[in-house]
Amino acid sequence: MRTKLTAAAAIALTALPLSASADGEVNIYSYRQAYLLEPLLNAFEKETGIESNVVFAKKGLAERLEREGRNSPADVVMTVDISRINELVERDLVQGVDSETLEENVPENLRHPDGKWFALTTRARLIYTSKERVDEGEITTYEELADDKWNNRICTRSGKHPYNIALISSMIAHHGEAETETWLKGLKDNLARKPQGGDRDQIKAIAEGVCDVSIGNSYYYGNMLRDENQRPAAEAVRLVFPNADGRGTHINISGISLTKSAPNRENAVKLMEFLSSPEAQSIYAKANTEYPANPNVELTGLVAEWGPIQPDSLSLQEIAERRNAAVKLVDRVDYDG
């Protein structure tokens, strides 16, 4: 196995250990962490004989691709959040893939209509509630977060964080901008403190009694349960799958796109198809307590214990197209102020 895993900050991406084109190789730019990719790429090489070269970064990959242009060695980009994925499309940095395998493995609402991105996993944007101070079934929808019964009882991270922007975008898709603005004002009025921290910090805040309700991604809760130092905080909260009896729970994705240059295009498409397969989907989902994008993959581990999810069937592309409107709403209601 010769997979090359290189950690790199965006500022240090000037010298990449990737050859432009080589038989039996594929070059990956990734925002996803090494521990998530290594078992997948090992399995891919075992099945196909194709070796993987990976550069990791926290930011700046779109800018790097733009600067490199047609000379970029990258074949695919792996990233999280529909906004980041759609940025690649809007900058014309990726190309469409016509693959029956990908279309069979990835539902229509979890892929670009022209094949410019495909979801690999999904993560649910859940409501966390205190087991002590909130009764089971007391809140069941995102809309209820604006109910004044929760005044001074809700914590969230910044409204401008991509995960919250995606949720707000989905609310706009379902309710329109005016109604969503009213809802967002109501949610802000119910905050127990100024938006801060990450999703795990909201769980900790509930455990500490700072608030009773918060919003967060499902995999953060799962990863906290796996950490003996964070497990007590996670065990203090209950998971709520909002709108499960209606339109379904809002989801976001991790995904993959084929770059415009893709010097190893054939190998890259094989990788994309492999990552959508049941074998790879099981590995990927189990490693980070995420849900498989492939609906034919059986749930395992913690996500299986939580039970099946009823996801919102709204196209992720529709959510991406409403991002700018969502950002403007956050500013208009001064959510983070």
Give the annotated binding-site residues for Fe cation: 219-220
Binding residues: 219-220
d(CA 117, CA 75): 13
State how far the Cα of 55 lies from the Cα of 77, in Å rounded to an integer.
10
C-alpha to C-alpha distance for 291 and 299, rounded to whole angstroms: 7
Q: Would you call 296 helix, strand, or coil by DSSP?
A: coil
User: b or e along 8-36 (b: 16 or more beta carbons within 10 Å of the residue's beta carbon)?
Assistant: beeeebeebebeeeeeebbbbbbbbeeeb
Cα(79)–Cα(120) distance, integer angstroms: 10
Give CA–CA dist 309/302, Å, rounded: 13
Question: What does DSSP assign to residue 300?
Answer: -
In angstroms, the CA 21 to CA 71 distance is 10
Whether the CB-CB separation of 94 and 172 falls below 8 Å is answered with: no
The 3-state DSSP composition of the chain as helix, strand, coil percent (nearest 5) reads 45, 20, 40
- Which residue's entry shows tokens 């009025």? 189
Q: Burial of 38 by CB count in 10 Å (0-12 exposed, 13-18 middle, 19+ buried)?
A: middle
Rounded CA separation 133/115 (Å): 46
Question: The dihedral of CA 299, 301, 302, 307: what is its sign?
Answer: positive
Burial class (CB in 10 A: 0-12, 13-18, 19+), 82: buried
